[in-house]
Homo-oligomer: A and B are copies of this chain.
């Protein structure tokens, strides 16, 4: 039997920490390093930073080079930020060190439309390194792209796809509750939205992957966000929201092919939301309606990130998307 795959966790925020904890549960994987830039974490034992009741003997490193000085690795699970300006130098650094990458950065999941220059840089670097890079997660990476694509396999004709993800954010981590505007006034919400970098990231990447894989040109993409306002007080471990304030958001995207609207993505995430399910509707021959219950976003993103490792290690060098690799499964 081969040695366990050696993994460095890059980024120890809530998702990165959960990925690291899950890597520790998987017998075929071995956590060999952890990187974070937060001064409060660097130098501490990774077990302590992960909230475990034991030391791991792995200090949190302030840089990848420092982590690699402790010993070699095969792959990096990269969980830092959503945006290309942040992750591009990090991914290039990892590839420069000769390691494969599974990332949760939303804009890397299908960067060929919105960030083509960065995509080309990363693809070239991956080919030079002889390694593969994949960004995935529950969304983007699964619910609004890979899953509907998978379902079109049994369609002779696809006229339109709608994916509606409705989440009760009361079950989610604090930063997620913050990201959807919990506790803000409507004016604060609109001001934050106008300033950008709030709300769900990844709709244009999901749309790009779906249309491109189905052989359709995306000629227009529109997106809008509205606050969901609470009528009664809402309390979570992270927020107390008074009536009239924001408990979440409803974000809608429309992607158009030359012949008309082809894909509608609806993302609803709000505290105390009664519905907690995903629905994929494919209009065509046949028309399919698929309903999913239980796709908890945090558990799911951690799972697919770790589950992707074996496919990424076996992949052709380059920047891959979920549509390029054989089915990613538990293992």
Binding site for B on A (CB under 8 A): 22, 25, 138, 142, 146-147, 149-150, 152-158, 213-215, 284-296, 299-304, 306-308, 322-331
Contact = CB atoms under 8 A, between A and B. Distances in A.
Contacts of A323: 326-327, 329
Contacts of A289: 292-294
Q: How many copies does the complex hold?
A: 2
B22 A156 contact: yes
A324 B329 CA distance: 12
Contacts of A302: 156
A230 to B, nearest CB: 26
21 contacts: A25-B156, A142-B153, A149-B327, A150-B328, A153-B303, A153-B304, A154-B295, A154-B301, A156-B302, A156-B306, A158-B330, A213-B327, A213-B329, A285-B299, A288-B294, A289-B292, A289-B294, A323-B326, A325-B326, A326-B326, A327-B327
A150 B299 contact: no
A331 B215 contact: yes
A307 B153 contact: yes
Given A153-B328, A324-B326, A288 B295 contact: yes
Q: Is the interface of A mostly helix, strand, loop or mixed?
A: mixed
B286 A329 contact: no
Nearest to A215: B331
A303 B156 contact: yes
A329 B295 contact: no
A329 B302 CA distance: 26
A9 to B, nearest CB: 15
A37 B314 CA distance: 42
